[in-house]
Amino acid sequence: MNKKVAVILSGCGVYDGAEIHESVITLLRLDQRGAQVQCFAPNVTQHHVIDHLTGAEMPESRNVLTESARIARGQAKDARELRAEDFDALIVPGGFGAAKNLSDFAGKGADCSVQPDVLQAARSFAQAGKPIGLICIAPTLATQIFGEGVSCTIGNDAETAGALEKMGARHVECAVEDIVEDEQHKLVSTPAYMLAGSISEAASGINKLVDRILEMTVQEA
């Protein structure tokens, strides 16, 4: 029986939403491995809109769920509908949207909070003992999902790693092509574009993360 995996997106675009390469690599690898996938996103106004050509903030408003549906080819659901009992695992790609729309880490650092619908959904997977994959900057959500003592990686960026540890996480330095697994919490993380200089480098770690998440679902079966 094919495994069912939920993917939480945070918009569309590295500077104000989900990192598109990371999201597509995740979805592609899941499909290659025969998993059934459903994308979700919070139905909220995104933090702000960035012109990805110039880097300037734009005077407009966009919805995180609507933008996420661009990546999901229209097949995105409200995070409020996400239930752990319907899936075998959860994966969250990175991009600044994870730190701006799924949480306010980009503005508040270690004092951040996670968007309530996303937090409730992610915690339901943790409480059910189902594996979770966090990619790129998304591990900044880890302590609020699992509590203090969780192990994860964002690569080797000292400032972000310091904020993670201030929140109570144990940061583990990791090369772009590798993953960090917290066996106790069933959490897998990888740096992706926190370190990657190319799409193939990002894919090297993401593919390992997806493969490991799916292996963990088999072990739990």
Average pLDDT over residues 103-116: 96
- Residue 136 annotated among the catalytic residues of the structure: yes
For 47-87, write each residue's pLDDT tens digit. Answer: 999 999 999 999 999 999 999 999 999 999 999 999 999 99
Cα 161 off chain centre by? 16
Q: What is the pLDDT of residue 2?
A: 87
| Secondary structure element (H or E) that encloses residue 207, with its range | helix 199-220
Rounded Cα distance between 127 and 41, Å, is: 20
Cα–Cα distance for residue pair 12/67, rounded to 1 Å = 5
Say how many domains are in the chain: 1
Contacts of 79 (CB under 8 A, 6+ apart): 8, 40, 41, 42, 43, 65, 115, 117, 118, 121
| pTM over 0.95, yes/no | yes
185-204 tens-digit pLDDT: 999 999 999 999 999 999 99
Neighbours of 57 (CB within 10 A): 12
More confident residue, 27 or 221: 27
- 3-class secondary-structure state, position 149: coil
Can you give the residue range of the structural domain that contains 168?
A: 4-220
Residue 123: pLDDT over 80: yes
Q: Specify the DSSP class assigned to residue 25.
A: H
What confidence tier does 5 reach under pLDDT thresholds 50, 70, 90?
Answer: very high
Mean pLDDT across the chain, nearest whole number? 96
CATH, residue 180: 3.40.50.880
- Mean local confidence (pLDDT), 137-160: 96
Helix spans in 128-198 (H): 142-146, 158-166
pLDDT score, position 140: 97
Instruction: Give the other-Cβ count within 10 Å of 107's Cβ.
Output: 11
The pLDDT value recorded for residue 219 is: 74
What pairs with residue 54 in β-bridges?
none
Residue tagged active-site, from 12, 39, 136, 174: 136
Interaxial angle between packed helices 20-32 and 199-220, expressed in degrees from 0 to 180 and rounded to the nearest 10: 40
Is pLDDT of 95 > 80? yes
Please state, in angstroms and rounded to a whole number, the distance separating the CA atoms of residues 138 and 13: 15
